[in-house]
Structure 1
């Protein structure tokens, strides 16, 4: 959808700006996209602004939303990085409207898709991984699921009414500092 493309553009811009900050601070950033039944590590954890630019260019949007798969992939990526570098202090940032409509197993007929997401989020939260949920839900009917997800993760929650890369970047910087 057009709104999803706009959000993705904002996320890409914010990540590139964060990478420029990270280069100075020696931080690293990775990105996972979840759509069409799978979660994919779009940007392997890096400090390289050039590598990020190349990986972020073609991130597709649309299709079903396997939020649970995205959470699991993010968790696995964080654990992998912690194993590689004991000094890693990870922060999971979830940018979503919380409207999951496909289960981790890929079955969209699963009536417990949302509970599956919450159960996975609780497991991640129990590990003590600092998290931030940026809620991109728009429209008149709001389910408030991103806020529920934040609560399950034990995460900080921020609502982004009008997503643009400067606002997103400002929110990320204030949260991460």
Structure 2
């Protein structure tokens, strides 16, 4: 029962002699609007490119921004890092700004890009979270130039992983981090395969990554 709404309804029947006795028609309930809980899983490519630090900074800033208003949206964030030979969960699902910042401070960049493993780890995070809270909506956010360079048949395995994400119906966003005059467009292809929203890192400079994620979530 929403106490304030119920009292207001009863007060509307008052004839100026105080609050009348409550009746069934006075009862009001509370309804949440626009506060669906999300699990935002960032997969960030931190391979040995010059933009790796920029990507990490963007994810850290986005995590802080999203978690600062998680008390209203009830969101959680997680971060999967793809670099070297494998991907790992740097930040498990959390609502704590302090935990996210502390764990991301320990992350290092360099190596190749295990893109397929990054998406698989993200699905594992989503599956574990769904077992405890099946109503929480997952959103996968990939920061990558689309290159897959770790292990045999890296590109083919990345395509298979992307197909699995799409088959599962997981909403996703691809943030294209490719730079330079000659661009391969691999992140664009990845977004098409995922059925994902697409944005470039340059386009997010003004609004910020967190604001873009809010718009999708």
Calculate the TM-score normalised by the size of structure 2.
0.73
**What corresponds to 1:173 in structure 2?**
214
Query: In 1, Cα distance between the equivalents of 2:98 and 2:177?
Result: 27
Q: Which entry has the higher C-alpha Rg, 1 or 2?
A: 2
Conserved? CA contact 2:76–2:95, under 8 Å:
yes
- Tell me the SS of whatever aligns to 1:53: helix
RMSD of equivalent CA atoms: 1.7
Query: In 2, Cα distance between the equivalents of 1:88 and 1:18?
Result: 15
- Tell me the SS of whatever aligns to 2:68: helix
1:6/1:31 Cα in 2 relative to 1: closer, same or farther (>3 Å)? Answer: same
Q: Which runs of 5+ in 2 are unaligned?
A: 1-48
Ranges of 4+ aligned residues in structure 1 off by more than 4 Å: 162-166
Report how far residue 163 of structure 1 moved.
6.3
| Bigger helix share | 1
1:42/1:73 Cα in 2 relative to 1: closer, same or farther (>3 Å)? Answer: same
Structure ranking higher on relative contact order (CA contacts 8 Å, 6+ apart)? 1
165-174 vs 56-65, greater mean Cα deviation: 165-174
1:38-88: per-residue Cα shift (whole Å, max 9, x none)? 111100101111111211112111111100000000011111111111211
Q: Which runs of 5+ in 1 are unaligned?
A: none
1:128/1:24 Cα in 2 relative to 1: closer, same or farther (>3 Å)? Answer: same
| Equivalent residue pairs, number | 169
Match of residue 131, structure 1, among 172, 178, 182: 172
